Amino acid sequence: MIRPDPVTWLREAVVTRDLDRIRGDMAAAGTRINDARATVKAARKVQADAPSFAIAGCHDAARKSITAHMVATGYRPKKGDGARRIVIEYARHVLGHVITDDDLDALDGLRRDRGNAEYGDFAQQRFDQAHLDQAADLAERIVNAVAAELAGPTKR
């Protein structure tokens, strides 16, 4: 599948009202990245006692980091149904050069897991330790990739 370039995708997302334009705010983005890192750390701590909470936390951490990039560059997702999907689409089109396709696909799966964890029957029994570890590792990779992208190139 050929993706539109990021500028074209962003323009279309604003026109279709999937994204709103806002004033870019790097300080707010930094706060979101720090919050995302703390959320991954907390999710790892509660895995054994609250697996559904841990899954939701991992998804939230990845989402927070992507929305940090959005805020830094002057965008925010629409509110309501489909907002979480739009955040992943933003990552796919705008951050695809720093987040792998495999991780983006896994993040979409984590989005569905989060829905099952919050709204499904017997969610606590669906997530074994390996699944929880993979979710936390995924969230951490995404948070770190977005943070590095926001930091820009390292100067020597």
Give the chain's end-to-end CA distance (angstroms, integer).
Answer: 38
Q: Hey, where are the domains in the chain?
A: 6-150
What mean pLDDT comes out for the span 52-63?
94
**What residues contact residue 105 under an 8 Å CB cut-off, 6+ apart?**
none
| Superfamily designation of domain 6-150 | Nucleotidyltransferases  domain 2 (1.20.120.330)
Residue pLDDT, tens place only, 99-134? 999 999 999 999 888 887 777 765 556 788 999 999
- Pick from 69, 66, 70: which is nearest to 22 by CA? 70
Q: How far apart are CA 127 and CA 108, in angstroms?
A: 16
Q: Is the pLDDT of residue 2 over 90?
A: no
**Which carries the bigger pLDDT value, residue 1 or residue 98?**
98
- The answer, as to whether pTM is greater than 0.95, is no
Q: What is the mean pLDDT of the chain?
A: 90
The pLDDT value given to residue 115: 82
